[in-house]
Amino acid sequence: MHSAWKVGLVLPAVALMVSGCVATRNWVTETVNKKEVEIDQKIGGVDSKVAAQSQRVDGVDTRLKTAEGGLVETGQVAKGARERADGAFTKADEVDGRLTRLWSNRNVRDLVETQQILFGFDKWELNDNAQTSLLSLVKEMKENVASRSISRATPTRSGRTPTTWG
């Protein structure tokens, strides 16, 4: 029984192999040609995709070079603007210093000339010398409008009050 069993399995397996596994030369050639056509089509598709990607990369490269040129130009413009701003800041600092100095000295007066005009004791009238001095001072002030004068009366020890023009 054991050998019948072996023969029952081996004989159909050998018959199947002999009848179905014999490949003819034509069949192999046809199958290989079909596969070559499929592979060529796939390679052609891959080639077209590679060409499209290459064009895309070239376009990106061109745009990148244009952007780099624009970036360099923008950098130069920004550098020029920074230099102008630094110059303006320096000038503003100088002007601020001058204005601060002028503002702090706005009430400082320089004494240029002092004249004393004295009244007589217990009198409100001026003598001839005092009147002449006062008239010459008024004439000078009319001629030179830009000059400023400050009048100040200062009492003296003797009770007389001299008027000071300066």
9, amino acid identity: L
pLDDT in tens, 82-134: 999 999 999 999 999 999 998 888 887 777 777 777 777 788 888 888 888 88
Percentages helix, strand, coil for the chain, rounded to the nearest 5? 70, 5, 25
pTM value > 0.85: no
Place of tokens 């000295």: 105
pLDDT at 166 over 50: no
